[in-house]
Structure 1
Amino acid sequence: MFQSFESQSERGAAAERIKELRRHLAAAKLDAFLVPRADEHQGEYVPASSARLGWLTGFSGSAGLAIIAKKSAVLFTDGRYTVQAKAEVDPDIMSVSLLPRGRIGEWLLENLPKGARVGFDPRLHTVSEIERLEAVLQPRAIKMVPTPRNPVDRVWGSERPAPPSDPIFLHPMKFAGRSAADKIADIQKALKAANQDAVVLTLSDSVAWAFNIRGSDIPHTPAPLAFAIVPATGKPELFIADAKVPDAVRKQLETFARVSTPDALADRLKALRTSGKKVRLDPNAASYWFAKSLGGVRRIARGSDPVVALKAIKNTTEIKGARAAHVRDGVAVTRFLAWLDGAVQSGTVDEIEAVRRLEGFRRDTSQLREISFDTISGSGANGAIVHYRVNEATNRNLKAGELFLIDSGAQYADGTTDITRTVAIGKPSAEMRERFTLVLKGHIDIATARFPKGTRGIDLDPFARRALWQAGLDYDHGTGHGIGSYLSVHEGPQSISRAGMAVLEPGMIISNEPGYYKEGAYGIRIENLVLVTPLEKPAGGDREMMSFETITLAPIDRRLIAKEMLTAEQIEWLNAYHARVFTELAPLIDDTKERAWLKQATAPI
């Protein structure tokens, strides 16, 4: 199994660990310390050796930051973890705040005395984050203090896991579509256009994409932990541990790049600083340590990581691979749904068994490299926990009269998938059908949207929410996120959300996943991935428009649909989608019972 079911939360140990941390803070004359979820690469998912927030507080979510002060402590997280955070964090030692991370400074102002000293690990916080805090805290003379060594690591001591050391491997042209040399040339072109001498790449997936390498340092994300410096002219330099680079891979990399160890990075940054080079650094992605190493925040050339925009627009090979991956994955998901429909009649299927079975069907493809994230397998009330991760303590049976939400994905060499289906176990209630249909209406309205050049995700987000809003309902997460090509399941800059300011471009792949969650009862989410199509003038129109091509293929539970709530156009889309699902998947399913189930599941409503 790629997924374990042991509880990742050590809530019971948090009190003693925080007590010990406070002793270290007192010795360093610090009034508080920031403990983020992030690692040195600012990744969403981190290796076990960098899971400081979870180890210290018991919170196992993928987004959060804790502040440990002398006599108080708080965990900041977002709406995805409303239920989970309260369950995993001991309220006797730490409060939970669902306020945006931008309000961290306000908490510090309210809870610390004038002139207080707030410690932080400069490798774990972005330039922008520290600058914002310094600006907010300056009127009360509260000082942000970078620590030479993370005090959490001191408390963790010898129990802290070793950093990952698995070897990297090349991502071949038949999947990448473009050579690393060509990609580096595009980065250099952007630097020259901006009159900059070099850029420091700190995001793991940016380095992986630019150098056409993959690894297994990060759970479920095939990107190695590495940094890179790309000059405007000349060879780029990749910084990665020697033990991770097999001889054959090194030989290939050295045809277009220098390969060095991370120990050399500080010296290279110093050389750039002393030479007066204009070095680009993304203040929203690169850590404060990089800015200080380059001479301070005033010396860097501020600009977005150029790779982020380049890799977001998939080339023809990546698009072809994504479509193939989703057909393959659709067969696996469909076979799982067919199995589930029959197996739940026994009343003995539980959340863990469902996860194991789904991974098994994906393994049957013989092309599964990894899952793309821990499967969210939530029955009944567990489905209302947006990022629920089943473990042996929380595992429950799928019971008649409840809903079952399963959000999962796979990593194939030709593409990354992410799909959510909500399934009725037995007969659903009228309320369940109504709210499922409201979510479906929003999903269809995104899938069928047409939009002009310059449209941002924030412009489309209300399409997904309108039906829910009309009923006085909503959900506390984004409607869609970008997705990588055999890379991160969550990729920017594009999103469909209240914060989605990036312009959507043809070739971007993005999720379409509105939802509804009734705490303590059930959760609903319907997720497909969609591809932004090229501009095209509709018949009779004056302007060119983009649209979405749905690339995820799997049945949507017809038993949960209240047909009378759908418009004629929405019914037409659903029936056409299901017809396409059957046409593309049925020839690839050998089992006659599974094929018969698919025919019934995709019948017109």
Structure 2
Amino acid sequence: MSSYADRLAALREQLKADKLDGFVVPLTDEHMSEYVGTYAQRLAWLTGFQGSAGSAVVLPEEAAIFVDGRYTLQVRSQVSPTEWSYQSVPETSTTQWLEDHAPEGARIGYDPWLHTRDWVKKARQALASRGAELVPVERNPIDEIWTDRPEASKAHLVVQSDEYAGKSSAEKRTEIGDWLSKHHADAAVIPALDSIAWLFNVRGKDVHRTPVALAYALVHTDGTADLFVASEKVAPDVRQHLGNGVRLHERSEFESALAELKGKTVVVDPERAVAAIFDALEKAGAKILPLRDPTILPKALKNPAEIAGQKAAQTRDGTAIARFLHWIDEEAPKGEVDELIASDKLEALRREAPELRDLSFDSISGAGPNGAIVHYRSSEKTNRKLEKGTLYLIDSGGQYVDGTTDITRTVPIGEPTEEMRDRFTRVLKGHIAIATAVFPKGTRGSQLDSFARRPLWEAGLDYAHGTGHGVGSFLAVHEGPQRISPVGSAQSGGDEPLQAGMIISNEPGYYKTGEYGIRIENLVLVVPREIEGAEKEMLGFETLTFAPIDRRLIDVQMLDPEELIWLNCYHAHVLAKIGPTLSGSDLEWLRATCAPIGMPDE
């Protein structure tokens, strides 16, 4: 179909044929993934929206698209206002909107393989107030009209060696089996793709930028497991790696396997398992224990091998970033560098490392006003040159065999304004506040979030995204359960106590619509902190990311002495870590960029 308007019209015709008065379209797949394979990108196909979080509702006479504050600008540039109304989350939601807009007595369709059980319950309650009905569909109506829909990936699984994983799959499965026994359960359903990759020490290429494979798993108390994955994707070396403790089945056999769990007590994660899984288990007569996926916390608590791998990946990545920032300094003022040229250059520098497997997400390469779009994606249509008097924001990362990186730097092209320097310095102060935070064990990310925002709040400013997200080990660049985010925000994803071994981002920002964006992002590791005389077990952060923070954007007079000490120490560490990997003009540039900054005269 030639236009998004045509696609919306075709969906409405299909809904009529299916005797439905509306349909809900989430941006996810059967595994509740944040990033999905091309075959599952129904929301993007229908609306044009390219963000990584959103949903839509289509009714006969109106349609709405729902995004949070990260995508407020992006959705308006990608989705037609004549066809769609823009709805802001968490101020509203699909269920609240349906309660206000669904026709009396309407039949609203949903795909039970794309929604959680909790969402289904809320939607049913919302619709009941209008005498409307929520109807599960056997086949997604978008799939009926998406005639050139891509097939699911057929890429082979690859083994993630114990050298990088730090623990064998058999050990992990035994620990999950013991956990099941303690909860008097017989099995756990594991539908999340990164959980499966971590548990079986395998990686895949089925999702853009995320090294996972399309699969489901059942883990049992004896440490054995059933893995449901297309047989064409499993080469002999992977079969040997999995061993006798893992029974292989076709992915298409997963639903029928659930039907065989009659009388069993089965753990299912309400946040990560779709409603169809609960429906199948209930129909089979299984007893359901609605508990969190037992791999989630062990996956977040990085072991020594994973931490060592992450540090090695960060040093490698820092080398590419330093060379890139030097290149930007030399080439951007000439007026020929644009967003796409810049992001391609950074990718090329990263790919010089043989350990790189992919980028960890599509780089956010935003010049001038495009930098104010939090999750901007440059295209031929939106591409801008890096012009003098503007800021350039580059948020990027790599998937290395031993670690996943994520870093944001903001660079002035030419001379920055005083306002830019003020805003940047406030963001830097917030970044330092997180980097230097010391807190008792049991502290949650939401308790730290305001540390990063205070310097902006003091000027009546803020940013509409979380301050930090968890990061995987050659896995998802966004990994729970830990977050640094306001409670109840669209990105909070829960409020998990921080524990030693968790990796999390530190990324406060500021965005002036139509002018510029600022973000400073490093990854940090939660570590124990020894404090003389402490009466509690204390934690803090060790910074893992090493790349210069642009001194031209810093108003030194706004920094406290302790903040300046942190900045100078950080740059000394950058030089010590990255300097030995550079030579020639790159090394000279790094030395100048990391030189200590003195306190201004009193």
Classify the TM-score, shorter chain. Answer: over 0.9
CA contact (8 A) 2:223 2:245 kept: no
Alignment root-mean-square deviation, CA:
1.4
- The CA deviation at 1:268 is 1.2
| Structure 2 residues without counterparts, runs of 5 or longer | 598-602
- For 2:119 and 2:179, the matched residues in 1 are separated by 25
- For 1:232 and 1:427, the matched residues in 2 are separated by 63
Counterparts of 1:376-525 in structure 2, within 5 Å, are 376-499=364-487, 500=492, 501-525=495-519
Which stretch shifts more, 181-190 or 376-385? Answer: 181-190
- The CA deviation at 1:389 is 0.5
Which stretch shifts more, 404-413 or 111-120? Answer: 111-120
TM-score (norm 2): 0.96
Choose the corresponding residue for 2:596, options 592, 601, 604: 604
Residue 130 (str. 1) matches residue 120 (str. 2): yes
Deviations 1:12-60, CA, capped at 9 Å, x for gaps: 7111111111111112221110111101111111111110000011111
SS in 1 for 2:129: helix
- The CA deviation at 1:298 is 9.5
- The answer for the alignment partner of 1:62 in structure 2 is 52
Counterparts of 1:151-550 in structure 2, within 5 Å, are 151-157=141-147, 159-233=148-222, 235-272=224-261, 274=262, 276-295=263-282, 299-499=287-487, 500=492, 501-534=495-528, 536-550=529-543
- The CA deviation at 1:454 is 0.6
SS in 1 for 2:465: coil
- The answer for the alignment partner of 1:580 in structure 2 is 573
- The answer for the alignment partner of 1:5 in structure 2 is none
- The CA deviation at 1:234 is 5.1
SS in 2 for 1:476: coil
Code of the aligned partner of 1:399: E
Residue 555 (str. 1) matches residue 545 (str. 2): no
Deviations 1:415-472, CA, capped at 9 Å, x for gaps: 0000000001100000000000000000000000001011001000000000100110
SS in 2 for 1:543: coil
**Is the alpha carbon distance of 1:179 and 1:219 closer, same or farther for their aligned partners in structure 2, counting shifts above 3 Å?**
same
- The CA deviation at 1:278 is 0.9
CA contact (8 A) 1:475 1:515 kept: yes
- For 1:82 and 1:259, the matched residues in 2 are separated by 44
Deviations 1:535-554, CA, capped at 9 Å, x for gaps: x4312433221000000000
- For 2:394 and 2:252, the matched residues in 1 are separated by 43
Counterparts of 1:45-124 in structure 2, within 5 Å, are 45-100=35-90, 103-124=93-114
SS in 2 for 1:486: coil
Code of the aligned partner of 1:286: A
- The CA deviation at 1:189 is 1.6
Deviations 1:477-527, CA, capped at 9 Å, x for gaps: 000000000000000000000134111010000000000000000000000
- The CA deviation at 1:101 is 8.2
- The CA deviation at 1:229 is 0.4
CA contact (8 A) 1:253 1:259 kept: no
CA contact (8 A) 2:185 2:221 kept: yes
Code of the aligned partner of 2:595: A
Code of the aligned partner of 1:322: Q
- The CA deviation at 1:135 is 2.7
- For 1:437 and 1:248, the matched residues in 2 are separated by 52
- For 1:309 and 1:542, the matched residues in 2 are separated by 26
Deviations 1:328-350, CA, capped at 9 Å, x for gaps: 10011001101110111211111
- For 1:122 and 1:101, the matched residues in 2 are separated by 25
Which stretch shifts more, 463-472 or 231-240? Answer: 231-240
- For 2:252 and 2:205, the matched residues in 1 are separated by 21
SS in 2 for 1:268: helix
Identity of aligned residues (%): 50
Code of the aligned partner of 2:39: S
Code of the aligned partner of 1:587: P
- For 2:354 and 2:14, the matched residues in 1 are separated by 50
Deviations 1:120-152, CA, capped at 9 Å, x for gaps: 111111112112222333333322111000000
- The CA deviation at 1:300 is 2.1
CA contact (8 A) 2:173 2:223 kept: no
| Structure 1 residues without counterparts, runs of 5 or longer | 1-9
CA contact (8 A) 1:37 1:53 kept: yes
CA contact (8 A) 2:264 2:286 kept: no
- For 1:544 and 1:455, the matched residues in 2 are separated by 11
CA contact (8 A) 2:175 2:223 kept: no
- For 1:360 and 1:101, the matched residues in 2 are separated by 41
- For 1:85 and 1:430, the matched residues in 2 are separated by 30
CA contact (8 A) 2:154 2:232 kept: yes
Which stretch shifts more, 426-435 or 128-137? Answer: 128-137
- The CA deviation at 1:299 is 4.6
CA contact (8 A) 1:73 1:93 kept: yes
CA contact (8 A) 1:42 1:286 kept: yes
- For 2:531 and 2:515, the matched residues in 1 are separated by 44
- The answer for the alignment partner of 1:6 in structure 2 is none
- The CA deviation at 1:102 is 6.1
- The answer for the alignment partner of 1:142 in structure 2 is 132
Deviations 1:289-309, CA, capped at 9 Å, x for gaps: 101110169952101111111
- For 2:92 and 2:543, the matched residues in 1 are separated by 35
Code of the aligned partner of 2:236: D
Deviations 1:269-300, CA, capped at 9 Å, x for gaps: 0010x2x1111111111011101110169952
SS in 1 for 2:391: strand
Which stretch shifts more, 521-530 or 162-171? Answer: 162-171
Which stretch shifts more, 511-520 or 124-133? Answer: 124-133
CA contact (8 A) 1:77 1:101 kept: no
SS in 1 for 2:43: helix
Code of the aligned partner of 1:554: A
- The CA deviation at 1:392 is 0.9
Which stretch shifts more, 107-116 or 190-199? Answer: 107-116
Code of the aligned partner of 2:187: A
- For 1:398 and 1:476, the matched residues in 2 are separated by 25
- The CA deviation at 1:104 is 1.7
- The CA deviation at 1:565 is 0.5
Code of the aligned partner of 1:106: Q
- For 1:266 and 1:582, the matched residues in 2 are separated by 54
- The CA deviation at 1:578 is 0.3
**Is the alpha carbon distance of 1:129 and 1:298 closer, same or farther for their aligned partners in structure 2, counting shifts above 3 Å?**
farther
Deviations 1:49-86, CA, capped at 9 Å, x for gaps: 11000001111111110100011000001111111101
- The answer for the alignment partner of 2:600 in structure 1 is none
CA contact (8 A) 1:168 1:244 kept: yes
Between the two proteins, the alignment pairs up a number of residues equal to 590
Code of the aligned partner of 2:130: R
CA contact (8 A) 2:99 2:129 kept: no
